[in-house]
Structure 1
Amino acid sequence: MNLFGKLKYPLPTILFFTLSASILLYVLLSYSTNLPIYNATDFNAKLVDTSVQGSLKKHTIANFHLINQNNEIVTQENYRNKIYVADFFFTRCPTICPLMANNMKKLQDEFLNEDDVMLLSMSVTPALDSVSVLKKYSERHSAIDTKWHITTGNKKQIYNLARKSFFAAVDQGDGGFQDFIHTPNFILIDKKRELEVFMMAPIRTI
């Protein structure tokens, strides 16, 4: 059974205000089902950067070069032939980010022995979230570094990824000094670097 087969609207346009880790778990546990693939034209235009709005090209996640909590370089090679859930956060966020981290932790624990399932968190305040800060954050959330990369890097690159690759941010911007993204979205990426599922983060945990 396709989990999303009876939805009236394309999944990316639906706001799951009460989404919890259980939904993410269900999606991954049901991954053998043929889930829909999403391209730029399938999304609410507000979530698609103006540079790629209306594109009919097959969409894949762009290459990236990030630094994780262990001061190691993280690229697409770390996620080659992997299914992964991505999110955007910042360590000083007191509101939704802790809930997102808790749900990422639940996913980590559920799929701990599944080598082809991984997690990726990208800081939207990379100037503040140094490697040492990320290390403390990862320890606080019991992140297993071989499973869950919590990363920082070049701000423009991260913001381009959020807007042009993961379609995770509504607002437009250039990744400059005053640009700020605060997105509550999770994105499921398949082994072909394609977008499988887009979900709002929870306002409560299970």
Structure 2
Amino acid sequence: MIKNILAVATVSLAFLACQPNSKKLPIIGDREVVEKVVDGKTVIDTIYPAIPNFEFLNQDSVLISDKNFENKIYVANFFFTHCPSICPTMQRNLLKAYEKFKGNSGVAFLSHSIDFKHDQPHVLKSYASKLGVDNDQWQFVTGSKADIYGISDKYLVFTKEDENVAGGYDHSGYLVLIDHEKHIRGVYDGTSEEETEKLLSDIDILLAEYK
């Protein structure tokens, strides 16, 4: 299903690129068309998928929630600190976005650790510091397996424990762009420099929507 959604997103982005003066990103994901009555009239409304409410423990041992991201756009991903495969590249690429938008109160970053056993707050704190993150604009969070793995699906990210892969965890390396309404507005391969550059450009486009 994720591949189909991403394929639709790619087509949508290509279509938008062909439109004159088009500067709006698509909303990604299955949508529901419903009828409702407003002032005695039946109207058609479109309900877009959204990231649900959440609460996780961050690198400072502070509980944060979706409320911390209100009136912000943010980039989310899933990783673990001792990941020997895609995580180092993905996090270095996300660091480019952090450095470009550092100090911009309208942009935030959220990395979920999928290693709920090892990646406790002090481990995440050390990892963030070594990566070069020195403010609260980029949050690194942990939580229960059910909460972390459950919400990854909402971001269209695959996650699972797998003792047969390096590091013991398997996951996709997507960087996911979220708007003020918690809608997904872009999904990018975090291991690709080209995709990372597109993310940087799309953040600017999305910021312009809220000016």
TM-score, structure 1 normalization: 0.70
**RCO greater where, 1 or 2, for CA within 8 Å and sep 6 or more?**
1
Please give the residue correspondences for 1:17-36 in structure 2 after superposition, counting only pairs within 5 Å: 33-36=23-26
Looking at structure 1, the residues matched to 107 and 23 of structure 2 have their Cα atoms a distance apart, in angstroms, of 16
Which runs of structure 2 are paired with 1:7-22 in the superposition (5 Å)?
9-11=7-9
RMSD, aligned α-carbons: 2.9
The question of whether the paired residues in 1 share the 8 Å contact of 2:94 and 2:190 is answered with no
Partner of 2:99: 109
Verify: 1:98 aligned to 2:88, yes or no: yes
- SS at 2:98's partner residue? helix
Higher strand share: 2
Q: Give the number of aligned pairs.
A: 163
CA contact (8 A) 1:124 1:181 kept: no
User: Shift of the alpha carbon at 1:192?
Assistant: 0.7
Residues 67-116 of structure 1 show CA distances to partners (whole Å, capped at 9, x for unaligned) of 11111111001100110000000001012101111112111110012111
Amino acid at match of 2:147: Q
Asked if the contact 1:39–1:57 (Cα under 8 Å) also holds between the matched residues in 2, the reply is no
SS in 2 for 1:150: strand
Q: Which amino acid aligns with 1:10?
A: V
Question: Which of 77, 96, 105 is 2:67 aligned to?
Answer: 77
Q: Map 1:96-175 to 2 at 5 A.
A: 96-163=86-153, 165-169=154-158
Residues 103 and 143 from structure 1, CA distance in 2 versus in 1: closer, same or farther, beyond 3 angstroms? same
In 1, the alpha carbon distance for the partners of 2:115 and 2:174 equals: 16
State the Cα distance separating 1:36 from its structure 2 match.
Answer: 0.3
C-alpha contact 2:116 2:144 (8 A) present in aligned 1: yes
Question: How far apart are residue 203 of structure 1 and its match?
Answer: 4.9
User: Structure 1 or 2: larger helix share?
Assistant: 2
CA distance in 1, matches of 2:94, 2:69: 17
Q: Which of 166, 181, 186 in structure 1 is aligned with 2:175?
A: 186
Distance 1:104 1:144 in 2: 14
Large movers: runs of 4+ above 6 Å = none
